[in-house]
């Protein structure tokens, strides 16, 4: 993303409905699949640190690490997550020894320009302990490509099958896969495909409080469904959980 979008992210990441839902989903998956004995965890593409801040509150015994390619985002994340060790680095070449982490999560990163998905998965595999868990989220459906992707520097939107095959081809056993942001998908399609003329920013912004609460209430139902172990068959994002096998 560009500098302006990172500043917007820092301003709204802790409050905007979409990021609140994402944190709930990721934390529920970590609670379900990552044992408490996993003492080291990496956010590979931490942005301005929203997930790391949530992890500081929920996994107080874990050593937390984060990387991002953007120095400004790393500076903000480091200042707002005192327990985390945050550094400027690429997911294509993680600056850590092999078998360093019990869990790696990477959210909306493998889709980015400059990221080589195969290389990133190789690095995740290398840096996980045997049996370690990787959690990956990417935007779904190339037909949903829009101004938002242009401004986010998205190189590719994935199908669920595509992401599952990519993960499975690099030494991981798939444990769980789901879409999310399904209920609001029709509104998203209308906004991005029919009302998208002259948009020069992403949809990351401060929403009117009533609208933010309404959207948040709708996607919170999806969060609860996923937390119960049930996958959603469609949605604007796709997310997988996988285990290192070899």
Alpha helices in the chain (DSSP H): 3-12, 17-33, 50-58, 71-80, 117-127, 147-152, 160-168, 185-194, 209-227
How far, in Å, CA of 22 to CA of 82, rounded?
A: 22
The separation between CA 109 and the C-alpha centre of its own chain, rounded to angstroms, equals 7
d(CA 113, CA 41): 24
Determine which of 45-54, 88-97, 167-176, 194-203 has the lowest per-residue pLDDT on average: 194-203
Residue 225: domain span: 3-244
Please report, for the domain that includes residue 79, its CATH number.
Answer: 3.40.50.150
* Mean confidence (pLDDT) of the chain: 94
Give the residue-averaged pLDDT of 26-35.
96
* Position with higher pLDDT, 54 vs 199: 54
Cα of 242 vs its chain's centroid, Å: 14
State how far the Cα of 58 lies from the Cα of 78, in Å rounded to an integer: 18
Give me the number of domains the chain comprises: 1
pTM higher than 0.75: yes
- Give the pLDDT confidence of 189-232 residue by residue, as tens digits: 998 888 766 667 788 889 999 999 999 999 999 999 999 999 99
pLDDT tens track for 92-132: 999 999 999 999 999 999 999 999 999 999 999 999 999 99
> DSSP characters for 90-126?
-TTS-SS-TT-EEEEEEES-TTBTT--HHHHHHHHHH
Please tell me the distance from the alpha carbon of residue 212 to that of residue 16, in angstroms, as a whole number: 7
pLDDT of residue 196: 63
């Amino acid at each position: 993303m560009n500098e302006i979008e990172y500043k917007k992210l820092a301003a709204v990441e802790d409050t905007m409905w979409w990021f609140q839902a994402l944190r709930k989903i990721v934390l529920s998956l970590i609670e379900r699949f990552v044992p408490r004995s996993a003492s080291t965890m990496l956010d590979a593409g931490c942005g301005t640190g929203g997930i790391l801040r949530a992890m500081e509150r929920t996994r107080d015994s874990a050593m937390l690490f984060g990387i991002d390619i953007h120095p400004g985002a790393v500076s903000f994340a480091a200042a707002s997550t005192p327990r985390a060790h945050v550094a400027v680095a690429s997911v294509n070449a993680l600056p850590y020894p092999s078998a360093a982490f019990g869990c790696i999560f990477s959210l909306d990163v493998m889709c980015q320009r400059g990221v080589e998905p195969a290389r990133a998965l190789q690095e995740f595999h290398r840096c996980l302990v045997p049996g370690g868990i990787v959690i990956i989220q990417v935007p779904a459906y190339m037909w949903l490509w829009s101004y938002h992707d242009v401004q986010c520097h998205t190189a590719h939107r994935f199908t669920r099958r595509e992401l599952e095959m990519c993960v499975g081809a690099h030494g991981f056993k798939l444990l769980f896969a789901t879409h999310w942001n399904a209920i609001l998908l029709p509104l998203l399609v209308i906004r991005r495909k029919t009302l998208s003329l002259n948009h020069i920013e992403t949809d990351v912004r401060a929403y009117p409080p009533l609208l933010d609460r309404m959207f948040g209430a709708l996607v919170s139902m999806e969060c609860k469904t996923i937390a119960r172990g049930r996958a959603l068959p469609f949605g604007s994002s796709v997310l997988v959980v996988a285990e290192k096998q070899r």
